[in-house]
Amino acid sequence: MSRRHYDLPPFTALSAFEAAARHLSFKSAAQELSVTPGAVSHQIKALEGDLGTALFERQHRGVKLTPEGEALYGTLASAFDQVSRQLSNIRRIADDDSVTVGSTTAVAALWLSPAIIRFWREYPEISVHQITQDRPILNAREYDFFINYGKAAGVTLPHTPIFRDELVAVAATDLARDLTGSSLSQLARQRLIHLDGASPTWTKWSDWFQSLGYSESLAIGTKVTSYSVALQLARKGAGVALGWRRLIQPMLESKKLSIIEPYALAAPNQFHLVGLPDSEQSKGALALKQWLLKEAGAHTV
């Protein structure tokens, strides 16, 4: 192989090796790089020839990294990650008027979107792109920041606390009035709306009752996978939902839902803004972050 500055092999060979090592598959690497498996194999053979050592053990069903391959992959993965982060920083600085923020669909609908609408009244020149998903966020660096309940698993970026919510039983106004003052045992026998979400960190009915000192069985009720659906069912009088008081405050104020008194539980975790340090954020991202923190402080439960 011809040598370049830093005495490195061609980037195409290193890129093909990194992708194949990450997938442990020449075929998957080829799909990612939009080339043929034969082209990936050719690049890796050339790299192995240049280094004078095998990087993969070819097996009947796939490939396995040799010790030398493991060492090279670890170095490349770390280096590529640093390059990716720096490129993201450069793009972010170059696009100060655009911010990408992530959250669950419930947080977006109930709290984030209304806050962003108020933000736009003061900062109309800043574009905010919202990405919602109810699964744990895997690639945190796709966002300027995202809102997470509790600490985001496997994410080492700074976490800025926004607020700690309070968990209450909620239902349609008439049903809530009838059930107010009920014992936990009586409440546990109601048609409970269970949220079977993707995130294990969200508090469930069983957690709520147990934290309040009730450990007996609960009504089977009904299961949903969307918090918005749970609230909609509760609004229509179809059961009792577990309400996050701050998130649903507008629904409480409009009497679309009412709290079944007197039980309330402080949420085990806080909501956080998760993203790069302020020194690496764009002006637009910093403006939105400070706005959301001000919103959270101003609208207390």
Mean pLDDT calculated for residue range 38-61: 91
pLDDT band at 87 (very low <50, low <70, confident <90, very high): confident
Q: In this structure, what token pair is assigned to residue 109?
A: 């609908």
Residue 95, Cβ density class (10 Å: 0-12 exposed, 13-18 middle, ≥19 buried): middle
pLDDT surpassing 50 at residue 301: no
- Residue bearing the bigger pLDDT, 19 or 97: 19
- How confident is the model over 245-260, as a mean pLDDT? 94
pLDDT band at 5 (very low <50, low <70, confident <90, very high): low
CA distance 85 to 91: 10
pLDDT of residue 199: 67
If you average pLDDT over every residue of the chain, what do you get? 88
Report the topology of domain 166-266: D-Maltodextrin-Binding Protein; domain 2 (3.40.190)
Per DSSP bridges, beta strands 271-275 and 193-195 are: unpaired
Residue 300: its pLDDT value, please?
46
Q: Which CATH class is domain 5-92?
A: mainly alpha
Pick from 1-5, 54-58, 176-180, 193-197 the range whose average pLDDT is largest: 176-180
- Which of 21-30, 68-77, 151-160, 181-190 has the least mean pLDDT? 151-160
pLDDT of residue 1: 46
What are the extents of the domains in the chain?
Answer: 5-92, 96-162+270-298, 166-266
Overall average pLDDT of the 116-145 stretch? 86
pLDDT > 60? residue 2: no
Q: Name the nearest CA neighbour of 146 among 99, 83, 85.
A: 99
Q: Are 176 and 260 in contact (CB under 8 A)?
A: yes
Number of C-beta neighbours around residue 213 at 10 A: 7
Q: State how far the Cα of 263 lies from the Cα of 24, in Å rounded to an integer.
A: 53
DSSP 76-131: HHHHHHHHHHHHHHHHHHHTTTEEEEEE-HHHIIIIIHHHHHHHHHH-TT-EEEEE
Q: Which of 185-194, 210-219, 246-255, 273-282 has the lowest mean pLDDT?
A: 273-282
Alpha-carbon gap, residue 15 to 10, rounded angstroms: 9
Tell me what the mean pLDDT of segment 65-87 comes to.
Answer: 88
Give yes or no on whether 5-92 and 96-162+270-298 have one common fold: no
Matching CATH number, 96-162+270-298, of 3.90.550.10, 3.90.1150.10, 3.40.1190.20, 3.40.190.10: 3.40.190.10
